[in-house]
Structure formats: C-alpha cells, structure tokens
C-alpha cells in the first residue's frame, strides 16, 4: 500500500518537529510547511521535504498542494504566547485566523480528506470545577485562545459543507523533549515555564514567578503539563481514527493532573540537583488560575492516554537544554 502524505504546517517548530518524527515513525510520508518565523530549519529531519512559506500566502500554499497529493493536514503553524497575544491581538488574529483560512481554502481546493488542528485549553473560561471536560464553558480569556476557538468553529462549518473530516485537539501545556535528543523546545524569546526555570538554573539567575496570589493551593497557577511525545501520540491516534472512518471530534489532550508553578520548580530542583531562586512578580495578563484536562473522552474514543509524568518531562527538557 502507498504511504499516505501528511502536510505538517509549523513542522519546524516545537510540537510540529516532534510530530514530523512521530508521523515518519508511523510510516507516513511527511511534508513540512513553515515560515521559520519562530521555527528552526535544523529541527526538520534530513530527507523530509521542507517548504519555506507563510500560511497567509495563498500562492505558497497552492504550490505545496500542487506538488504532492496530500491526504491529511496537521496544522500547528501559528502564534502561541498568551501574554504576547494580549499586547498584539491583531497579529494573533492575522496569523492564527486569517492564515488558517487560507490553509483551509487551499486544502479544500486540493480535496484533502482529514484535518487535525492544534487547538488549546485556552479556549475554556474560568470554572468552579478543577478539571475541564470538552463540554466546559468556552470563554477564552485572551486573544490567543479566542483565535483558536474561532478556528474550531470555522473548521467545523467548513466540514459541514465540504465533507472534510477533522479533529480539534485542545492541548494543555506541551513540555519536555524527544527521548532521542534530536528536537526540543526552542523559542526566542522563551516564555514557557519549564525552559525558563532550566535556563535560570543554568545561568544561576532567579526565575520570575508571575503571581503568587491565585486561588490555588500555594497561590501560583496550576497547569496540566503533558509530554510533547505523548501529545504527538494523541495526534497520531486522532489521525488514525479519522482514517478508520471515525466521525470528526474535539478532544482534550492532557494528563488530568495539575501542577503549580512551585511544584514545577521543585521537580526541576530534584532533577538538576540545583536550588532555584524565585522572584515573585505581578500576575501575567491573560493567565488563568487553573487549567487541567479531563482527558476521559480521548481515552475512551481514541484509546489514547498520556504515559509520562512531570519528572520525565523535566528530565528530557534538561537533557535538551544541556545539549
């Protein structure tokens, strides 16, 4: 049987570059499309076709869809920093919404059958319950989450009229690095907690903790940190379900366990054997107090579950940081 061809947008980025490896390992042919605004060409494995282009550019997209008979799109390309989205909302709507519209148009024109979309837990509003199921209230507290929620709706509407089938994957906090050390988190500037703590350890500087007065067990924000390789396994399970004829769906990809910022700092201290110095700062605009997945649906429908815990996440991230 001929291998299916999957277009990975944002395949030179953090999660995308792990997904490229997961897809190749599962026997797919992979094509990467990335504008390298935040991604790195070096993170795309040798031998994987790479197209430098922007999803907002219809000509660049048309060229890729003309060059390959693409069966499925896994769409990661986009801007991802919650705090930045509050300051630059128009960039977020332009890249994440307008860009994704162009990608959908090109995909529909090329008769792509399956679309897997990188959504986010940031689509959920504040909740009294500690964990979010997919039926929780959708009320994003920042432009990043709003841009992803808009796309969820646009994809679902497009599917109704075209027969495209889709999976909307709401991820919690992707973290860690590949077990083989070939790729990991590499953002400039880095805004995410775990790499920032690891850099603070390396440079012997304090880690800024954004807010210690949240209504949580220790006053710092709680997140559900999911190993990036578990996350990619979830995408693979979603894609395979679509290929097997399953209906479109929306799924949380998380572990179901929450860790506060201070918990993560303690995990880093345990893994690195170094003391972390904390500097408490004001809350970061747009941050929710607590975001933890209820991953039951993904387990039941996709047969997927995250296997790696916080220690393994920090260990792999530390190995990547030192590489």
Please list the active-site residues.
Answer: 144
Q: Closest distance between ligand UDP and the C-beta of residue 193, in Å?
A: 4
Contact 5, 68 (CB under 8 A): yes
- Identify the burial level of 296 via C-beta atoms within 10 angstroms of its C-beta, where 0-12 means exposed, 13-18 middle and 19 or more buried: middle
Q: Which of 6, 231, 232, 261 binds ligand UDP (CB under 6 A)?
A: 261
Interface with ligand UDP, residue 284, by CB under 6 A:
yes
Share in percent of the chain as helix, strand, coil (round to 5): 40, 20, 40
Q: Which stretch binds ligand UDP (CB under 6 A): 7-15, 85-93, 94-102, 204-212?
A: 204-212
Q: Closest distance between ligand UDP and the C-beta of residue 38, in Å?
A: 14
Q: Closest distance between ligand UDP and the C-beta of residue 190, in Å?
A: 8
Interface with ligand UDP, residue 118, by CB under 6 A:
no
Q: Closest distance between ligand UDP and the C-beta of residue 206, in Å?
A: 10
| Number of other residues whose CB lies within 10 A of the CB of residue 21 | 21
Report how far residue 238's alpha carbon sits from residue 159's, in angstroms, rounded to the nearest whole number. Answer: 16
Report how far residue 251's alpha carbon sits from residue 254's, in angstroms, rounded to the nearest whole number. Answer: 9
Q: Which residue has the tokens 């429908």?
A: 301
Q: Which stretch binds ligand UDP (CB under 6 A): 86-94, 187-195, 294-302, 310-318?
A: 187-195
Q: Which of 48, 82, 228, 298 binds ligand UDP (CB under 6 A)?
A: 82
Q: Closest distance between ligand UDP and the C-beta of residue 246, in Å?
A: 28
By rule CB under 6 A, what string of x and - marks binding of each residue 140-179 to ligand UDP? ---------------------------------x------
Taking CA atoms, 101 is separated from 25, 91, 94, 108, 145, in Å, by 30, 15, 10, 10, 17
How many Cα atoms occupy the beta-carbon half-sphere of 257 within 13 Å? 14
Interface with ligand UDP, residue 210, by CB under 6 A:
yes
**Residue numbers at the binding site for ligand UDP (CB under 6 A):** 82, 173, 191-193, 196, 208-210, 221, 223, 261, 284, 287
């Amino acid at each position: 049987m001929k291998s299916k061809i999957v277009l990975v947008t944002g395949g030179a980025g953090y999660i995308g570059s792990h997904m490229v490896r997961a897809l190749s390992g599962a026997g797919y042919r992979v094509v990467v499309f990335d504008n390298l605004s935040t991604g790195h060409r070096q993170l795309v494995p040798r031998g994987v076709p790479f197209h430098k282009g922007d999803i907002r550019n219809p000509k660049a997209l048309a060229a890729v869809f003309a060059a390959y008979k693409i069966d499925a799109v896994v769409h990661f390309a986009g801007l991802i920093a919650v705090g930045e989205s509050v300051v630059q909302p128009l960039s977020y709507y332009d890249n994440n919404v307008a860009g994704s519209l162009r990608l959908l148009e090109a995909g529909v024109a090329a008769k792509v059958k399956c679309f897997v979309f990188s959504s986010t837990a940031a689509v959920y509003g504040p909740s009294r319950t500690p964990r979010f199921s997919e039926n929780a209230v959708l009320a994003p507290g920042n432009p990043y989450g709003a841009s992803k929620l808009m796309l969820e709706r646009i994809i679902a509407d497009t599917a109704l009229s075209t027969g495209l089938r889709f999976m909307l994957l709401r991820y919690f906090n992707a973290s860690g690095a590949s077990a083989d050390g070939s790729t990991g988190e590499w953002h400039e500037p880095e805004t995410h907690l775990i790499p920032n703590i690891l850099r603070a350890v390396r440079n012997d500087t304090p880690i800024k903790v954004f807010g210690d007065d949240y209504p949580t067990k220790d006053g710092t924000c709680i997140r559900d940190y999911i190993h990036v390789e578990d996350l990619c396994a979830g995408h693979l399970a979603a894609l395979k379900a679509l290929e097997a004829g399953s209906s479109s769906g929306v799924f949380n990809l998380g572990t179901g366990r929450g860790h506060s910022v201070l918990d993560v700092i303690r995990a880093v201290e345990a893994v690195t054997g170094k003391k972390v110095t904390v500097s408490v700062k004001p809350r970061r605009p747009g941050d929710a107090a607590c975001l933890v997945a209820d991953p039951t649906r993904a387990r039941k429908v996709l047969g997927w579950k995250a296997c790696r815990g916080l220690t393994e996440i920090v260990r792999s991230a530390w190995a990547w940081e030192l590489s």
